[in-house]
Amino acid sequence: MEEIMEKMYLMTPGPTPIPPQVALEMAEPIIHHRSPQFQKIFAEVLEKLRYLFQTKNDILLFASSGTGAMEAAVANLLSPSDRVIVVRGGKFGQRWAEICVTYGIEIIPIDVQWGMAVEPQEIEKILQSGNSQPIKAVFTTLCETSTGTLTDIQKIGEVVKKSKAVLVVDAISGLAADDLRTDNWSVDVVVGGSQKGLMLPPGLSFVSISEKAWDIMEEKIPSYYFNFKKYKKVLSKPDTPWTPAISLISGLQKSLRLIKEEGLENVFIRHQKLAAAVRDGIEAIGLKLFSKNPSNAVSAVRAPANINSSKLVSMMRDEFKVWIADGQGELKGKVFRIAHLGYMQRFDVIIALSALEMTLAKMGYKLELGKAVAAAEEILRGNYA
């Protein structure tokens, strides 16, 4: 590769930047996974994951990106022609639906306007409608990354708890940014991934599983590699049925220590402040947030009239070396997304807003340079974390 002096800033909702301590840890010589040395690391990781997920439930780890664990959840929990509710309010809600359909599951979709959060009563209505065939699961998303929208998991938990259905939440982007009280809010299955709030490279995924969820799993063997029961069988040692992603798990030990050291409460406050700074920043230069119920992980912003967000994103990347994300699906070209997720602090969002101002100015948008940054500074100069 050519050697180029080029400092880049990754502000996308996955992958996210990695702390140097974590990167160094992953560069250590590989150790064998059937050894007391690895067991010690793995035991600590499992304990700290339960802290992060706010649960006493089992947490399984897979060598896959987040979608692998989503598919595993569907394959393990359900059988063909089971009925489920799927909340579709963006690209990732759609993904739940696509996976279910692939497995021959009958879905009852709740289509939510993109940028809005689902009304928990809509789920309740369907659960109580007294259909002949019971509903086995409700699939939703903590932070719908495509629209930057937060779902009210607590309320949905109250509703689903009263039924026989299990609540399955894709928390891949929301975990460690938006509060998710797995046990208190009666969430049966939580899916996570490594390359978002966990400050790791892609390649690890997580699933927490409640007693209620273990109970509905069929006796049939639903899959081989991703078979939850095979993982559960050796979890208490702790061990994994196949070779785990050893280096990523060593990195995870470090990133979870960082989260524990900061304290989950403070991690949430930091994300909340960074999100507030970005929201005030974009509003100060006349832009509007896309979501009506924004997440603290990522802000989706409407591109101004006459400005294509795809062009904005590539100009920001190529000229200013700041990587943000374009809209997905129907929002491509219309919104851009700035993530403030994981290994992020005050000056990361200042950089993003400054690059945004310069890019917009270059594209002919009328604004006063520095206004977004100034608005963000008003939030960020306060005390937090």
Ligand X SMILES: *Cc1c(COP(=O)(O)O)cnc(C)c1O
Contact residues toward ligand X (CB under 6 A) are 13-14, 65-67, 92, 141, 145, 170, 172-173, 193, 202
Cα 359 to Cα 319: distance, rounded to the nearest angstrom: 8
Residue 325 CB, nearest distance to ligand X (Å)?
10
Q: Give the residue with the Cβ less far from ligand X, 340 or 346.
A: 340
Instruction: Output DSSP code: residue 185.
Output: T
CB of 296 to ligand X, least distance (A): 14
CB 229, min distance to ligand X, A: 23
Whether 324 and 313 have beta carbons less than 8 Å apart is answered as yes
Cite the beta strand spans of 72-113 per DSSP E: 83-88, 106-111
| Shortest CB 172 distance to ligand X, Å | 4
Q: In whole angstroms, give the CA distance from residue 260 to residue 39.
A: 20
SS3 281: helix
> Of 201 and 304, which has the nearer Cβ to ligand X?
201
C-beta of 67 vs 154, nearer to ligand X: 67
CB 66 to ligand X: min, Å:
3
* Distance separating alpha carbons of residues 42 and 240, to the nearest angstrom: 10
Measured from the CB atom, the residue of 166 and 171 that comes closer to ligand X is 171
Q: Name which of 142 and 372 has its Cβ closer to ligand X.
A: 142
Of 107 and 373, nearer to ligand X (C-beta) is 107
Using DSSP's 3-state secondary structure scheme, residue 335 falls into strand
- Please, what is the minimum distance in Å from the beta carbon of residue 277 to ligand X? 21
CB 292 within 8 Å of CB 116: yes
Q: H or E element: which one contains 269?
A: helix 264-284
How far is Cα 202 from Cα 200, in angstroms, rounded to an integer?
6
Sign of CA dihedral 121, 127, 131, 136: positive
